[in-house]
Amino acid sequence: MPTRRLAAGTAALALIATTAPAQELFLEPGADDRFSWHTLEAFADAHDHTGARLSVAGVWTGADARMVESVLAYFAHATGAEVSYSGSDGFEQDIVISARSNSAPNIAVFPQPGLAADMAARGLLTPLADGTEDWVRATYAAGDSWADLGRFVGPDGEAALYGLFYKVDVKSLVWYSTDAFFEMGYDVPDTMEDLLALTQRIVDDGGTPWCIGLGSGAATGWPATDWVEDLLLRIAAPEVYDGWIDNSVPFDDPRVIEAIELYGHFARNDDFVSGGAQAVATTDWRDAPSGLFRFPPDCHMHKQASFIPTFFPDGLEYGLDYDFFYFPAYARHDLGEPVMGAGTMWAITDDAPVAQSLIAFLQTPIAHELWMAQSGFLTPHTGVNLDTFSSDAQRGINEVLLDATVFRFDASDLMPGEIGAGAFWSGMVDFTTGADAADVAAEIQSRWDAMR
């Protein structure tokens, strides 16, 4: 195979795109020694796809589409391939239709593993190259978790790795006002026992510990499902969580009920939540954290995912006005440091050598660092240089991800839609407003039973 070397200082390379103007390399190779440019050069030496065409489809549109295109531009630059990316709000429907009509893109970027698993079973995905699974297990933090999430049963009944996760979100986070914590002398809790004690201490000091909001239009209730999922990972082994997703562990299992009740300990106590327990179900999740930044504060803590700062009031500065900590595990359960979140999984829907090469490119540190240096990107890749992150906040959140002993995908996203995006959401609203946890869990299980 002929080798191709990257020309440091190359000004730009057009990225042929179906949804956006041509992209330029946002940073010249070799221009900043924080980046692992040697991995890009080594990749270019080993992959020549001059004249080949590669199509990629996913959910990203707008600014996110421009971000992924900026990374794909370096793949095109390294290989000589012509790359197109198409983003759609209707991706889930579009990809199934195109795959069944033999017009699928080479690569599909799935926002949830469930649809990919279904397509793999129908023979609509191609297993990734030999060695990729071993690489994931060895290179990603909590690598076994990431490999298992991308491993599905194919049409032959055999399991294989079909998806590589690239760009993830972390949900196991608690945000707080640094001013309020400093003024009251509060320390960041290291364990769930510490967090429970801090919650009570804030009340004893005359404050309100939590801001919680479940309002989200037709999706009202989903923030409560995140609480329950995180708490289940902190009181039971990951295998229980996995069984809960496929209902081999029923929804009314005592451990699931316990996790719901633990969420209720925080959300159903008028002293613990801003506005009282009845306000939780009606407060919009995007508005809920604003209480952290009033004077005096309406609350001291807010549990939400890595994307929540987008909805903070303007003008706030990370580290000065707000900070976060890992939603801690119980010391008494000794289950390590589980992290719950979500992410995008890249899979081959129309096999070609250039598609296999893109999956290989996503394994290089530079493919991660190029997006890390922009915005909205987290990675479990242990070989990246964290100094390339565009902000201290993103770097700190990524360290939570890298410290994880177990990672699990948002359970409600993996359950059947009628449950995860229906009965579970509404059931948590019912529980938050006063229903019994066991009754709610039994009702959700009855809905699941009716689907069989």
From 208, 340, 338, select the one nearest 276 (Cα to Cα). 208
Q: What is the pLDDT of residue 97?
A: 96
Q: Quick one: fold of 37-161+341-404?
A: D-Maltodextrin-Binding Protein; domain 2 (3.40.190)
pLDDT at 23: 62
Q: What is the distance in angstroms between the CA of the first residue and the CA of the last residue of the chain?
A: 53
**Residue ranges in the chain modelled with pLDDT below 50:** 1-22
Stretch (H or E) spanning 166: strand 163-170
**Annotation: CATH topology of 173-337+418-450:** D-Maltodextrin-Binding Protein; domain 2 (3.40.190)
DSSP string, 334-387: T---EEEEEEEEEEESS--HHHHHHHHHTTSHHHHHHHHTSSS----BTTS-GG
Question: What pLDDT does residue 16 have?
Answer: 30
Strand partners, 140: 381
Check for a shared fold between 37-161+341-404 and 173-337+418-450. Answer: yes
Residue 452 has a pLDDT of 84
Domain boundaries, the chain: 37-161+341-404, 173-337+418-450
Please give the pLDDT value at position 11: 29
